[in-house]
Structure 1
Amino acid sequence: MFDHRNGFEVVHLIGIGGIGMSALAHFLLDRGAHVTGSDIKGSGIIDRLIRRGAKISIGHDPSHIGRAKVVVYSTATLSDNVEMYAALHGGCVLLHRSELLELISHDSMLVGITGAHGKTTTSCLIAHLWANLDPSYILGGECPNFPAHGHCGTGPFFVAEIDESDGSFANTGPSHLVINSLDIDHIEFWINKERLIESYHALARRTQGFVLLYLEEGEKAPFSHSNLFTYGFHPEADFVVQSRAHALTLTLRGKELGTFHTPLFGRHNIQNAAAALSLHFLVMGRAADPDALSSFRGVLRRMEQIGSSHVFTDYAHHPKEIAPAAATFLDRFPDAVFVFEPHRASRLNVLLDDFIVILKKVPRVVVTTPYLMRGEAFPRAALETLCQKTGAVYIPKEELADYLRRIGDFPVLFLGAGDAKNLAYEYDQTIRVDDRPSLS
């Protein structure tokens, strides 16, 4: 039987440059493991792991596994990957990244954060709130408050995103659970919302401690749990949040817990902060300090300013993420231009009507080449319908920077979970702006 305490001397991660896999690599390096990995191309994330001592190869080859006894893959790893095949037939322990997470968190109190929206920011906020306890964490984004987005701590808590996109959260058994949203996003996996809700319910049943669920306005919790608490803007939630300028007020069943300062903007980030503060109260039995979040510096790719110009990028790629991101940006830059990179043809096709409703409310939208998964057909009809019904203009990626330069000197927000940040960097390299706007 595999020994989860002593079996990680040498670990190989396929696709080590991915945000989730690289977080696991940082954790294993902290733990003293010899980490190897491979990916199809280099990146800043890979460079940082190499500087820490990881041995990483570009490209995939069975020889890259070396003397590793444990090989880790993700849902993004293709079934015909030669390294996965070699591990499977070479006597290695082959683990999905969610299985590795369950093993390495076995002796800690796993705090799992899931849901279609806000997982990364909420996870980072919780890890930040508990920084003095030195929690372990696996985060789905890079946060300037931490030296890396994966860490093996000495404290009792293990803060981690547990992924609903592929159902792999079924491999985990959290001590405490935060469900930030019940929205269905990855339709290609879940097929319908009923399956998703039942999986959340099953996850809640496996949770030993508190279950904290975001309650949509006008909705009711779809399942029960002995330690279920709800939070949100809904007046019937257990934890009710009210937003103020650079602050939020939180009440628990009518009793005010305090007003908390936050540097984050937007209703969606107030929701994320409320989740972290509510969980803190439940687990610690007391409210956080009013200034506990004041030093939080956000998460990269979440309303991130690029370079020295008036260019920003945000990970929003679902209609319910685009709406608050666009509203927040327009509050500060009313003349903004929005570049939307659709992420996956399946999402665009299924949620097309929702995208139309949201983008019709956003002025000056440029739709660019979609980010597609292998085997997906180009969604030409959906793109044409989207542009026709919203007034957006379609500009291919290779023409995007020139087009944006021609239309004038406007603040630009690039939206998407694929190449949007790279597109923002490419555009930023072509312009020079002396007087840049700022979100601060």
Structure 2
Amino acid sequence: MSLVKLVDPVAEADLGRVHFIGIGGAGMSGIARILLKRGIRVSGSDARSSELITELRELGATVHIGHAASHIRDVDTVVVSTAIRDSNPELGEALKQGLRIIPRAAALASVMAGRTAVAIAGTHGKTTTTSMLTVALQKCGADPSYCVGGQLVTTGLGADDGQGRVFVAEADESDGSFLMLAPDIAVVTNVEADHLDNYGDPRAVHDSFARFADRVGSLLVVCADDPGAAELARRAAERGQRVKTYGTQGEHYRVCDVRPDGFGTVFAIEGKGEVRLAVPGAHNALNAAAAIAVADELGLPFEEIRDGLGAFTGAKRRFEAKGEAGGIAVFDSYAHHPTELTADLRAARDVVASYSGTGRVIAVFQPHLYSRTRFFAEEFGQALGLADEAIVLDVYGAREDPEPGVSGAMVAGLVPLPPERVAYAPDRSAVPALVAARARPGDIVLTMGAGDITELGPQIVARLS
């Protein structure tokens, strides 16, 4: 898959009747939901039905299951997700009819226009930071519009159209499409090598973030603890851009006194006060600091945003509790990059210390994409060494075809734990029994990956029962 072709923004009023190819995806369904709530006619298609599609139909969308050229009827604009291939019959028909065809990010730019646009970018932490800021603004009464790459636990939604002046959105760098956004305020949580199947090399990733920073109108908020983001901040400031930094090394929002607190985290912002979160991990203290910096820029009192952050209970698939049985707690995480695995496993160690004091961490990991597994196999193995036991599934290929020699066995073989504490499980159905044989009261189990591993959590809980 190549980087998407950047297009000029389209005014929402000019979109006309909109058809989404791949409407069931988290980002696509969110934009469709917002358009429907604004009175715009929406249709779409997807390979399979889902709860999100049911919700869109209830809001008035016409949604087809399966793709066919005949679905492109009475349409002005076609929105495509990056998962759609050139051979898709609906895309072919739209081209044949000469319709306006835009990527998801261009549609997002359209619905953000006219609001105070806040975009959250970064290699990791985008969904959680966007969700934190959204929930905090809601608790402050700001009623923002939002579009997140996941679902808020508080609302069960990944997007909605609020009545306030602020629009908060997750900015996806995976295909370069975040360069279609021109936010008033932007956060960059970190800049690391990822999506190298698109970018080719790490330098191209950094250059893309630099171009994104150039598009920010008012304020760039950057995590000073991440070397890539810190370099981005330095370069932006040299160009005369207004920049504020946060983190333990932050100049404007310095994070200090970070400590676990049961399942949550406590930290302080120097010169402002203490914040208590209901989610674990030092990385979430950094995410919350980013939200505080944005709220400050929006003119919201620290005390209100602090209380709003305390009400944040997580986003789905971000260290999400799946259940408990036999004194063993099971969580699920979307982590699919070595840095994300490292952050979540460190948070898991904090949780297990509070949960039982003597328990262990059992990591169940499904590598996502053959290219990413090839690039980062060694780093994945090292990250899984933070667990006490590791079970590695086979690669979830998603949009990619298999690569000879690239499998979950590569990762399992690089985990620096004794062989008896590492298992390669190519048969996903065998995993609940494997976990049950290894887990004991006081342990926590963390399933990690961006694929269908998320289905295993409830199955593991059932087997433990």
| TM-score (norm. length: structure 2) | 0.86
* Structure 2 residue 413 is matched with structure 1 residue 411: no
Verify the 8 A CA contact 1:264 1:298 in the aligned structure 2: yes
* Structure 2 residue 255 is matched with structure 1 residue 224: no
* Structure 2 residue 293 is matched with structure 1 residue 278: yes
Verify the 8 A CA contact 1:338 1:365 in the aligned structure 2: yes
Look up the match of 1:370. Answer: 395
Q: Which moved more, 1:377-386 or 1:9-18?
A: 377-386
In 2: Cα distance, 1:375 partner to 1:292 partner: 40
The amino acid that maps onto 1:137 is Y
Look up the match of 1:395. Answer: 425
The amino acid that maps onto 2:197 is E
Look up the match of 1:356. Answer: 381
Shift of 1:95: 1.1
Alignment of 1:62-211 (within 5 A): 62-131=69-138, 132-146=141-155, 148-211=157-220
In 1: Cα distance, 2:376 partner to 2:186 partner: 28
Verify the 8 A CA contact 2:280 2:350 in the aligned structure 1: no
The amino acid that maps onto 1:154 is Q
Look up the match of 1:437. Answer: none
Look up the match of 1:39. Answer: 46
In 1: Cα distance, 2:388 partner to 2:405 partner: 22
- SS of the residue 1:431 aligns to: helix
Measured against aligned partners, the alpha-carbon deviations of 1:228-282 in whole angstroms (never above 9, x if no partner) come to: 1111122x5332112243322113xxxx122122211111211111110112113
The amino acid that maps onto 2:434 is Y
The alpha-carbon distance between structure 1 residues 361 and 205, as it changes in their structure 2 partners (threshold 3 A), is same
In 1: Cα distance, 2:87 partner to 2:405 partner: 29
In 2: Cα distance, 1:101 partner to 1:2 partner: 9
RMSD: 2.2
The amino acid that maps onto 1:395 is A
* Structure 2 residue 370 is matched with structure 1 residue 345: yes
The amino acid that maps onto 2:309 is L
Alignment of 1:290-305 (within 5 A): 290-305=306-321
Shift of 1:308: 5.8
- SS of the residue 1:373 aligns to: coil
The alpha-carbon distance between structure 1 residues 5 and 420, as it changes in their structure 2 partners (threshold 3 A), is same
Look up the match of 2:255. Answer: 241
In 2: Cα distance, 1:358 partner to 1:379 partner: 24
The alpha-carbon distance between structure 1 residues 187 and 305, as it changes in their structure 2 partners (threshold 3 A), is same
In 2: Cα distance, 1:156 partner to 1:59 partner: 37
Q: Which moved more, 1:332-341 or 1:160-169?
A: 332-341
The amino acid that maps onto 1:240 is R
Q: Which moved more, 1:62-71 or 1:399-408?
A: 399-408
Measured against aligned partners, the alpha-carbon deviations of 1:321-355 in whole angstroms (never above 9, x if no partner) come to: 11121122233333232110001111111112211
Q: Which moved more, 1:401-410 or 1:385-394?
A: 401-410
In 1: Cα distance, 2:244 partner to 2:214 partner: 14
Alignment of 1:373-388 (within 5 A): 373-378=398-403, 380-381=405-406, 383-388=408-413
Look up the match of 1:423. Answer: 456
Look up the match of 2:5. Answer: none
Shift of 1:306: 1.9
The alpha-carbon distance between structure 1 residues 17 and 3, as it changes in their structure 2 partners (threshold 3 A), is closer
- SS of the residue 1:351 aligns to: helix
The alpha-carbon distance between structure 1 residues 61 and 134, as it changes in their structure 2 partners (threshold 3 A), is same
Q: Which contiguous aligned blocks of 4+ residues in structure 1 show a shift greater than 3 angstroms? A: 217-220, 307-310, 378-385, 405-411, 425-428
Measured against aligned partners, the alpha-carbon deviations of 1:278-314 in whole angstroms (never above 9, x if no partner) come to: 1211332753433221221210111112256432210
The alpha-carbon distance between structure 1 residues 399 and 378, as it changes in their structure 2 partners (threshold 3 A), is farther
- SS of the residue 1:394 aligns to: strand
The amino acid that maps onto 2:220 is V
Q: Which moved more, 1:283-292 or 1:388-397?
A: 283-292
% same residue: 30
* Structure 2 residue 35 is matched with structure 1 residue 28: yes
Q: Which moved more, 1:15-24 or 1:49-58?
A: 49-58
In 2: Cα distance, 1:55 partner to 1:162 partner: 27
The amino acid that maps onto 1:329 is A
* Structure 2 residue 275 is matched with structure 1 residue 260: yes
Count of residue pairs the alignment pairs up: 427
Shift of 1:166: 0.6
Look up the match of 1:438. Answer: none
Look up the match of 1:324. Answer: 343
The alpha-carbon distance between structure 1 residues 200 and 35, as it changes in their structure 2 partners (threshold 3 A), is same
In 2: Cα distance, 1:40 partner to 1:209 partner: 40
2:333 to 310, 314, 325: 314
Verify the 8 A CA contact 1:356 1:386 in the aligned structure 2: yes
